[in-house]
Amino acid sequence: MVGMHNGGVSTATTAAEEPPTAEAGRPRLLVRLFRAATSSALATGISQVTLIGLLWWGAAPALASAVAFVAGAIPNFFLARRWAWGRKGTPPVKGELVPYLVVIGLAGLASVGLTTLAGWFTEPLELSGLLRIVVLDAVFLGSYAIVFFMKFALLDRLVFRHATRIRVAKSPS
């Protein structure tokens, strides 16, 4: 408890009410991971709708998964940047946007590559339209899950490492 004198009135504050240090203002790793996973889940939903729609209309797996990946990556950048890493304003092109595009591009290549391979492997099986879409979608989702942790680590440690972290409210003790 720290006593403060303010214009003749003495007030007391607890250590929890004192201004946070720079380190205390950063969300813990698990909070950032949860928030990044949540924004990624939303982006994955957008990608899923895009992928399934394009496959249903007869698009090739490579094209469908590439367009679907981009459809989710764009909103994910802005949502994750703001919510998981606490960044506001226009993103610096060289400091955030280009590194994000590199990281996300590598993740996209993995997703598109695995989905394309699944398309090649399922072609000779002559699967029905819906069954083929389910198999390709499962591969696309599986690749997202595999790549997520690598992508999070790169974003957290390289792209947004100097981000001003948002504050995490502490539970009352």
Please give the C-alpha separations between residue 98 and each of 66, 103, 165, in angstroms, as whole numbers: 19, 9, 20
- The answer to whether 39 touches 78, Cβ cutoff 8 Å, is no
Find the length of the chain.
173
**Global confidence as pTM:** 0.62
* Residues paired with residue 10 on neighbouring β-strands, in sequence order: 5
User: With the CA atoms of 49, 52, 54 and 59 taken in that order, what torsion angle do they form, in degrees rounded to the nearest 10?
Assistant: 160
pLDDT digits (tens), the chain, 173 positions = 444 444 444 444 333 333 344 444 455 888 888 999 999 999 989 998 998 999 899 998 889 988 998 899 899 989 988 888 888 888 888 888 888 889 888 887 887 788 788 888 877 887 777 888 888 888 878 877 778 888 888 888 888 876 554 444 555 55
Please give the C-alpha separations between residue 35 and each of 29, 69, 98, 100, in angstroms, as whole numbers: 10, 19, 22, 17
Per domain, the residue ranges of the chain are 29-159
User: With the CA atoms of 54, 58, 61 and 65 taken in that order, what torsion angle do they form, in degrees rounded to the nearest 10?
Assistant: -10
